Amino acid sequence: MANDASAVSDAISRDLAALADPFTPPADSTLWRKNFLLGAATASYQIEGAVDEDGRLPSIWDTFSATPGKVLAGDTGAVACDHYHRWEADVDMLVSLGLEGYRLSIAWPRVMDAAGVPNRKGLDFYKRLLNRLKEKGITTFVTLYHWDLPQHLEDRGGWLNRDTAYRFADYADLMSRELAGTVDAWATLNEPWCSAYLGYGNGHHAPGLADGRFATQAMHHLLLAHGLAVPVLRANDPASLKGIVANFGRGTANSDSAADQRAAHLFEVQHNAWILDPLLKGAYPQDLFELWPGTEPLVLDGDMQTISAPLDFLGINYYFRTSVASDGAHGIREVPLEGVERTQMGWEVYPDGLRDLLTGFNSTYRNLPPIYITENGMASDDKVIDGHVDDTQRISFLKRHLAAVDQAIKAGVDIRGYFLWSLMDNFEWAFGYERRFGVVHVDYSTQKRTVKRSAELVAKFLKERKAQV
């Protein structure tokens, strides 16, 4: 492994040394377009903290992270980046980097009580934040659900309970009435695959349940919630875009055998078609139930029409590729590749996977809406040395993934923007605070923010692009 790590380090060094500027795209890149949005993203539970303040109710992640053994080192989001108290300075930091867009999420437990009564203090926090962002000229993408379900709804079954979808529509109604005019784009859900599979299928995320039948039923109710919310958002805030954000996985076969090729297909059915087929075709892929027999969800008349309501945009989150093979029993097994570059998460760095997914979706779905890359980034063990953070691998990662986006645009995919994950280091769910995804370093003991070299280079490019307009 030491030799592998050395080879990867040498490859990154050669990659960066070959360029006068290790980030700036070439002159023929579509990323120089003035209407191509470049921003950064965060999520409420990962940065806000203040979990007991101003009427906020407990969420499933408060419960899960407080359960021994669920989160690395026993970390919780109780304080996180203290963004709830430091939001003004964080907005100033965002503006100072020249970032044009900010994707944030709203904490459902912060804005309404168990009876659905609005919590004015929680609502006012988001109003102040969004108004400031608009004053600064920042394009705002707001996600309604980034995994922090109110615990009182989980106590009634959570996403296994169909009623939660209707409660979500009520929440969407409240937020779009209160925040109309301050939001450029609404995303109903973030990564329903993670909510359904990691939360209810294998228990790695809150609420920690593990049953294949739970996963498919939870997914159906999540997508139903999305479908119910879209017309509400359209009615209350017609000037904004409406969409959804999903994470997608590139699966490649470990060999040319028919069985391994089939395994790669089924991997992408599970990670991609499970979400996109209902949204864009109005039906679940039957191959999914070949992989997970007996897990078909309860679908009522009209559900699929509701779920497949037209979208203004699709948010795509991409991180890595997975090499797979047949398990010999109509299933899938992962085959870790040797000698490849990996991040602190152990994920393979594979920019071609992003390009391949984008072009593949464009050919598969004739009604594919405009796309924003709503998350892309990597974790590394970043340290502040003499006041600086030189995150060399991240710089190389971003350069290559933005090149993959450029290739997809040139191949005909309608991609409108790209959001770095993440603006700053934060609570990385079951991995706690050990894994750092930010382009800004956070010292959790002091809450000091330190801009990393990657962010400096992004800011330099944005300044150069603005000067050309």
| H helix or E strand, kind and range, residue 204 | none
- Would residue 290 show up in a list of annotated catalytic residues for this protein? no
- pLDDT for 23: 86
* CATH code at position 409: 3.20.20.80
Query: C-alpha distances in angstroms, 279 versus 220, 359, 405?
Result: 11, 18, 23
Specify the pTM.
Answer: 0.96
Q: What is the pLDDT of residue 403?
A: 96
Alpha-carbon span 139 to 457, nearest angstrom: 21
Q: Is 32 annotated as a binding residue?
A: no
pLDDT at 2: 44
Marked catalytic residue, from 100, 154, 341, 375: 375
Residue 197 among known ligand-binding residues: no
Q: Is 372 annotated as a binding residue?
A: no
159 is in an annotated binding site: no
| 135 assigned to a ligand binding site | no
Cis peptide before 65 (omega within 30 of 0): no
How many residues does this entry show for the chain? 469
> Which residues span the domain enclosing 196?
2-468
One of 191, 268, 341, 348 is an active-site residue; which one? 191
Under 8 Å between Cβ of 305 and 281: no
By three-state DSSP, how is residue 386 classified?
A: coil
319 annotated as ligand-binding: yes
Burial of 229 (0-12, 13-18, 19+ CB in 10 A): buried
Number of domains in the chain: 1
Residue 17 phi/psi, 5° resolution? Answer: -65, -20
**For residues 416 and 418, what is the distance between their CA atoms, to the nearest angstrom?**
7
pLDDT for res 1: 42
Q: Quick check: 251 and 322 in contact, CB under 8 A? A: yes
In angstroms, the CA 341 to CA 334 distance is: 17
**Residue 406, SS3?**
helix
Q: Quick one: pLDDT at residue 21?
A: 73
- The partner residues of 105 in beta bridges, in order of sequence, read 143
CA distance 455 to 63: 34
Flag whether 429 is marked binding: yes
**Structure token pair of residue 461:** 């490019």
pLDDT at 165: 99
Q: Is 191 a catalytic residue?
A: yes
Backbone angles phi and psi of 144, in degrees to 5: -75, -35
For residue 318, the one-letter residue type is Y
User: Cβ–Cβ contacts within 10 Å for residue 154, how many?
Assistant: 22
Other CB atoms within 10 A of residue 16 CB: 16
In angstroms, rounded to a whole number, what is the distance separating the alpha carbons of residues 34 and 62?
A: 41
Contact 162, 222 (CB under 8 A): no
Q: Which residues of the chain have pLDDT under 70?
A: 1-20, 469
